[in-house]
Amino acid sequence: MTSFQDLGLAAPLLGALTTAGYTTPTPIQEQAIPHIMAGHDVQGIAQTGTGKTAAFALPILHRLLSERKHPGKKGTRCLVMAPTRELASQIADSFRSYAAGSPIRVALMFGGVPKPRQARAMDNGVDVLVCTPGRLLDHLNDRAVNLGTVEFLVLDEADHMLDLGFIVPIKKIVSYIPKERQTLFFSATMPKEIESLAAALLRSPVHVAVTPVAQTADRVEQAVVFVEAARKRALLSSILKRKDMGRTLVFTRTKHGADKVVQHLEASGQPAAAIHGNKSQGQRERALAAFKNGSVRVLIATDIAARGIDVDGVTHVINFDLPNIPESYVHRIGRTARAGASGMAISFCDATERAHLRGIEKLIRARLPVAEPEALAA
């Protein structure tokens, strides 16, 4: 079995990994790290929860540490773009954690917070800049960032960049970056637009892939409940009263729907929090912190806001609304049964969602077992 030591990572990184309790690389790390350390462009298919952040952060940090140089004023040696604030924050935290005790400097940029402090962090240049594309464009327009020194470009969750309309901004940002660079491109799915973006950005890339998107987690028990739309909130409230319900992530299709569910649960004496694009950064961080520390057991989320939520111990995922993109179902239920644990995914399906259910079952090549509402209620 391969260890991180076998991959030839620098001593400070191995020390940080030991401190964090990591000894064995995940499949994506084992595949990607040697190619990135060798300087190859990489195109990876990997979902959240596979360890892909470390798969690119560790070899990049190894390269940055082995060849120290100053990025210049407002410059950076490594640029990482992510679709959401939450994911950008987690990536920056990972870089800082793995580089603990080293001289590596990491900066973070995303919308929803004032720009001046972010701009000041770039004054003397940084080794790694993690950002969302929209906010980075703002800073480029303000001339607060210089991308002329970028050696490593990372695009994470590229398929969700597409969902959020970031493809044009990304192309504009890349025009500021030297063509002589190493590019790493990660996506959970590869729709045509993402394939063509990858082809434009990458040079003779090595392809790595783990967990095909059509594959649902083996340890997740799945069920679908046929229920009228008007009865969904009452059924959810009843299920959440069960004794075996632990930390639960509930997905709605819309931001408004998420807020409605929270109001209904709180009116019935069940504390819950929502996380979606209309919430301020502070509200999102507080909701996520409450969910992580257990003061709130139920978190209601939209698909976009849930990208980057990486919380251990989620016992149940409930699809209050079925997603209209079948791949989203796989991402959603992958939030439970992580790190060797088991979990359960319950999907509500009303008359208008039957086509969505058929799309999901076609993707995963399986029929979801049907459960009766009474069997799931408290």
Residues with Cβ within 8 Å of residue 272, at least 6 apart in sequence: 250, 261, 262, 265, 266, 296, 297, 298, 299, 300
Say yes or no: 101 and 157 in one domain: yes
- What is the spatial distance between Cα 257 and Cα 251, in angstroms, rounded to a whole number? 9
- With a cut of 80, say whether residue 71 has pLDDT above it: yes
Residues 131-185: pLDDT tens digits?
A: 999 999 999 999 999 999 999 999 999 988 887 789 999 999 999 999 999 999 9
Q: What pLDDT was estimated at residue 217? A: 60
Instruction: Please report which confidence band the pLDDT of residue 279 belongs to, taking 50, 70 and 90 as the band edges.
Output: confident
Say yes or no: 18 and 101 in one domain: yes
Q: Does a structural domain hold residue 57?
A: yes
Q: What pLDDT was estimated at residue 216? A: 57
Say yes or no: 186 and 257 in one domain: no
Taking residues 278-304, what's their average pLDDT? 87
Tokens of 128: 């790694």
Say yes or no: 88 and 128 in one domain: yes
Q: Calculate the alpha carbon distances from 126 to 11, 107, 133 in Å.
A: 22, 7, 18
Instruction: Please report which confidence band the pLDDT of residue 243 belongs to, taking 50, 70 and 90 as the band edges.
Output: confident
Q: Does a structural domain hold residue 224?
A: yes
Q: Does a structural domain hold residue 312?
A: yes
**If DSSP codes are grouped into helix, strand and coil, which group holds residue 236?**
helix
Q: What pLDDT was estimated at residue 33? A: 95
Say yes or no: 229 and 139 in one domain: no
CATH code, 228: 3.40.50.300
Taking residues 285-292, what's their average pLDDT? 88
Burial class of residue 223 in the structure, from the number of CB atoms within 10 Å of its CB (0-12 exposed, 13-18 middle, 19+ buried):
middle
Q: What pLDDT was estimated at residue 252? A: 94
Say yes or no: 351 and 265 in one domain: yes
Say yes or no: 133 and 169 in one domain: yes
- What is the spatial distance between Cα 336 and Cα 314, in angstroms, rounded to a whole number? 5
- What is the spatial distance between Cα 378 and Cα 368, in angstroms, rounded to a whole number? 22
What's the number of domains the chain is made of? 2
User: pTM for this one?
Assistant: 0.64
Say yes or no: 101 and 159 in one domain: yes
**If DSSP codes are grouped into helix, strand and coil, which group holds residue 187?**
strand
- The residue among 164, 188, 209 that closes a domain is 209
Taking residues 6-12, what's their average pLDDT? 90
Q: Does a structural domain hold residue 215?
A: no
> Is residue 180 within a helix (H) or strand (E), and if so which, with residue range?
none
- The residue among 209, 236, 253 that closes a domain is 209
Instruction: Please report which confidence band the pLDDT of residue 186 belongs to, taking 50, 70 and 90 as the band edges.
Output: very high
Q: Does a structural domain hold residue 85?
A: yes
Taking residues 336-358, what's their average pLDDT? 86
Say yes or no: 132 and 196 in one domain: yes
- The residue among 179, 209, 239 that closes a domain is 209
Q: Does a structural domain hold residue 214?
A: no
293 lies in which domain range?
220-376
Tokens of 103: 């001289």
Say yes or no: 186 and 265 in one domain: no
Say yes or no: 182 and 234 in one domain: no
Q: Does a structural domain hold residue 264?
A: yes
Taking the CA atoms of the chain, what radius of gyration do you get in angstroms? 21
List, as one string, the DSSP characters of 125-154. Answer: -EEEEEE-HHHHHHHHHTT--B-TT--EEE
Q: What pLDDT was estimated at residue 101? A: 85
Say yes or no: 228 and 197 in one domain: no
Reported residue count of the chain is: 378
- With a cut of 90, say whether residue 228 has pLDDT above it: yes
Q: Does a structural domain hold residue 205?
A: yes
